[in-house]
């Protein structure tokens, strides 16, 4: 289902889709010259806090930006996480780390450069927001000027039972996602 259709369905109260038919594709590049109020706030907060990349956005803010074409969304989790835990439909994928040992992907920046422009708004998503923050920092050091971390990630933080999914994150916010 295209992102716009998902966006419309979600806005009309439909439950998030969990079918396996959505495939990642590269969406048109958002305009690098247009500034969105969400991104302006994130950038101002990041500058005030000394964050080494453009800023952080919540999952709901990320969905608003992505579904309206204001930013590209890149999932930096492993292929295994995307397959077995779920992923946001129509997003790009560039793993920050690979395999069960989560070895750093030495080609991360090169792979990111092949999928998005260095001056376009790019949102990075991982499990909890920690790896995507590291990826955002690396991307900023490589010259990406509008790279943002999605705070809380896809699954959120650990709860009292040491489980994810109940404290923040994309899925907890009931935003669209699918599982293979």
Indicate the Cα dihedral angle 35, 129, 103, 117, nearest 10°. Answer: -10
Q: State how far the Cα of 131 lies from the Cα of 145, in Å rounded to an integer.
A: 18
Tell me which residue of 71, 45, 51 sits closest to 59, measured CA to CA. 71
pLDDT score at 52? 98
Q: Is 148 helix (H, G, I), strand (E, B) or coil?
A: strand
pLDDT score at 157? 72
pLDDT score at 19? 31
pTM for the full predicted model: 0.81
Tell me which residue of 171, 173, 175 sits closest to 81, measured CA to CA. 171
pLDDT score at 160? 75
Tell me which residue of 160, 83, 159 sits closest to 128, measured CA to CA. 159
147, β-bridge pairs: 122
What structural domains does the chain harbor? 1-10+53-180 (3.40.250.10)
Contact 116, 153 (CB under 8 A): no
**Residue 153 to residues 35, 65, 144, Cα–Cα distance (Å):** 23, 15, 20
- Structure-token match 């896809």, residue found: 154
pLDDT score at 29? 53
Instruction: Divide the 180 residues of the chain into consecutive groups of 10 and give the mean pLDDT of each group.
Output: 41 36 43 78 97 98 97 97 94 93 94 98 97 98 98 83 73 92
Both tokens of 132, joined, read 């995507």
């Amino acid at each position: 289902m295209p992102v716009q259709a998902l966006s419309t369905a979600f806005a009309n109260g439909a439950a998030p889709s969990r079918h396996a038919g959505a495939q990642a594709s590269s969406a048109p590049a958002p305009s690098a010259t247009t500034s969105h109020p969400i991104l302006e706030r994130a950038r101002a907060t990041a500058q005030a806090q000394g964050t080494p990349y453009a800023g952080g956005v919540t999952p709901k803010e990320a969905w608003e930006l992505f579904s309206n074409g204001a930013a590209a969304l890149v999932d930096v989790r492993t292929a295994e996480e995307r397959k077995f835990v779920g992923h946001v439909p129509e997003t790009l994928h560039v793993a920050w780390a690979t395999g069960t040992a989560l070895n750093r992907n030495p080609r991360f920046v090169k792979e990111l450069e092949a999928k998005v422009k260095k001056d376009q708004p790019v949102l990075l998503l991982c499990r909890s927001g920690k790896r995507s923050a590291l990826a955002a920092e690396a991307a900023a050091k490589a010259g990406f000027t509008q790279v943002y971390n999605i705070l809380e990630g896809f699954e959120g933080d650990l709860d009292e039972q040491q489980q994810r999914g109940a404290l923040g994150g994309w899925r907890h916010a009931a935003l669209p996602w699918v599982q293979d």
